[in-house]
Amino acid sequence: MARRFAGDRLVLATHNAGKVREIGELLAPFTVEVISAGSLGLPEPEETGTTFRANAELKARAAATAANLPALADDSGLVVDALGGAPGIYSARWAGPDKDFTVAMKRVEQKLTGKKKVVAHFVCALCLAWPDGTFETFEGIVNGTLIFPPRGTQGFGYDPIFMPAGHDITFGEMEPERKHAMSHRANAFRQLVAACFAA
């Protein structure tokens, strides 16, 4: 049985403005004040895990301890079969020190030169941790294909090159509500809500 969230304040263990916005929108229906780790000046821990799940747990537990509040962390990324699973847990690092995902998307495209329809999926691990060391982790996946050149200005990260299965537009072209209904993050978030928030 998962531990229930009973507080009214939650730290989002991220400095990524796109994740703060997207997770904040997903948490909007709940009466919880969301504070980002960035706004609290919390350091970003080194992501030493070898899986999305391990990195989400590492970040959530560090933020919960530092802020003495429950903390929610996301570790997510693009997994491309033709690249042996890359960029995977290194998705943000492919964007360089300036977190420029135009650079990251171009790097993916260059490594896929000559390949036509490229199968890929997004993975999101969400971890909710408490200051006492307890934590709950959930993982969501959305399958799709990559398209080039990038299309759309919605979302963030690799969204403009990712077309979810069964659709003809990219995440970068989708309105947030539509993306939230099917994304890897929304998938993991539904599991989190059902286990830890639902009445």
Find all residues with CB under 8 Å of 123, minimum gap 6, and list them: 52, 76, 77, 79, 139, 140, 141, 184
Q: Where are the alpha helices (DSSP H) in the chain?
A: 17-27, 37-40, 52-67, 101-111, 176-180, 184-192
Compute CA distances 72 → 54, 103, 129, 146, whole Å: 13, 28, 6, 29
Find all residues with CB under 8 Å of 36, minimum gap 6, and list them: 11, 12, 14, 15, 20
Burial of residue 47 (number of CB atoms within 10 Å: 0-12, 13-18, 19+): middle
Place of tokens 């033709």: 82
CB-CB contact of 140 with 127 (8 Å): no
Distance CA 52, CA 139 (A): 9
Collapsed DSSP state (helix, strand, coil) of residue 44: coil
Concerning whether 74 is annotated as a catalytic residue, the answer is no
Query: Which of 75, 81, 100, 159 is an active site residue?
Result: 75
Which of the residues are catalytic?
A: 75
